[in-house]
Amino acid sequence: MCLNTTRSVTKIRPEASRVNAEPSTVSDSTDSPSHLVRGCPCYREFGEEKVCLNNDSVFPVNAISVDPSFFSQLDSRSLLEEFQSDNQSMCYLLMFLDREEGFCYCVSQNQQICINEKGVKVSEIDSALQFVTSSEKSRDGVLCSDCLYRYLRTLGESSEGFLTDDERQGIIATYVRELATNMAKQLSGYEGGGNPTEFNNHLWGYLREINRSRSHWASMILNLKKMKTEEDLIDLVDSYRTLARLESVFLFQVLSLDDPADETDPLSILRFMVGVSEKVITVNNAIRERTNSLVERDAIPDNIREMLAQHSEARKTTEYKFSNLVSALHNIDTHAA
């Protein structure tokens, strides 16, 4: 059962008037896991009406998004009462993540956050944020409270008894499509609208570019072998060719998402994409190790060094994107098992 603390009458200090009109922004700190998250899965908007769904109720609220720097000293659940509003309908759009006990709390009302009679866990919010930031459109770090709620209702513990297996599988298929399509847009540099035909045509064009790149790497490997270049350098270039191949495999899989529903298995596609993403990360690690070793021995010719340097930044960006993707996919796979 989800228990909540009683309301106090402590007034919020004047500094809270420093608000940001943008809802649902994650705290900017990256040094350690954050205690504060701007946004709340229980906050919903229905036209002009703003409501709180905490404890499975529907309570009208007045919402403001408060600058997290105002709460810089809020690092313990015991301090929540000091920052609680005396207005029962006030919502700061701010969650406190109690990483000691593992549950989440509403800062403005000093209440535990509960969905479907279950306390929302910190681990669930961490997973939800990983997914939402990877799949949902964001602007200046702005996230979507409704997306957090949808994630928790679908893949969190509060989803138990709420969805049938078929319903959950259908939503998982939607999540996988959103993640994969968004990733494909980032990789290919697609900036068009939502026209599926336009996007698919763009993706096919980008795949042709990747295939030309693969041919370039293959030709380079043949030349290096003819020159009897040391194996480590050949392996390094071959790793770049492998990255291009894995990227094309991933994009072909994205294009296959348009196949008829009865010909695709969402969980199989999910796990296939996890495997490809993990392989990308493994190959990137190998590239990093081989490059460092060759540089230390001054074993990379200047012309090849310059050429690899041109690809290095793109490789690092791709690695970062796939790292985020594999984390999000793992979160879905864990709950789908």
The 10s digit of each residue's pLDDT in 89-118 is 999 888 999 999 999 999 999 999 998 788
- pLDDT for position 310: 84
Using the predicted structure, report yes or no on whether residue 13 has a pLDDT greater than 60: no
Quickly state the pLDDT bin for 269 (edges 50, 70, 90): confident
Using the predicted structure, report yes or no on whether residue 194 has a pLDDT greater than 90: no
Contact 24, 137 (CB under 8 A): no
Cα distance between residue 278 and residue 325, in whole Å: 9
Mean pLDDT for 206-225 is 92
Cα distance between residue 140 and residue 143, in whole Å: 9
Q: Hey, how many other C-beta atoms are within 10 angstroms of the C-beta on 17?
A: 11
Least confident residue range of 39-43, 231-235, 256-260, 320-324: 256-260
Mean pLDDT for 12-26 is 36
Could you state, in order of their start, the residue ranges of all structural domains in the chain? 14-146, 186-336
- pLDDT for position 7: 39
- pLDDT for position 182: 86
- Tallying the residues shown for the chain, one arrives at 337
- pLDDT for position 18: 32
Mean pLDDT for 194-205 is 89
Amino acid at 78: S
Contact 47, 166 (CB under 8 A): no
- pLDDT for position 268: 74
Mean pLDDT for 222-240 is 92
Quickly state the pLDDT bin for 154 (edges 50, 70, 90): low
> 287-313, pLDDT tens digit by residue?
999 999 999 999 888 888 888 888 888
Using the predicted structure, report yes or no on whether residue 163 has a pLDDT greater than 60: no
Mean pLDDT for 119-128 is 84
Cα distance between residue 208 and residue 311, in whole Å: 18
Beta strands in the chain (DSSP E): 36-38, 43-46, 49-52, 59-60, 62-63, 90-91, 94-98, 103-106, 111-112, 114-115, 118-119
- pLDDT for position 11: 37
Strands 49-52 and 103-106, sheet pairing? unpaired
Cα distance between residue 123 and residue 102, in whole Å: 7
Quickly state the pLDDT bin for 145 (edges 50, 70, 90): confident
Using the predicted structure, report yes or no on whether residue 221 has a pLDDT greater than 90: yes
> 171-183, pLDDT tens digit by residue?
677 777 888 888 8
Looking at per-residue pLDDT, the higher value among 27 and 179 belongs to 179
- pLDDT for position 125: 84
Average pLDDT taken over every residue of the chain:
78
- pLDDT for position 224: 92
> 51-85, pLDDT tens digit by residue?
898 988 888 899 887 777 788 888 888 898 988 99
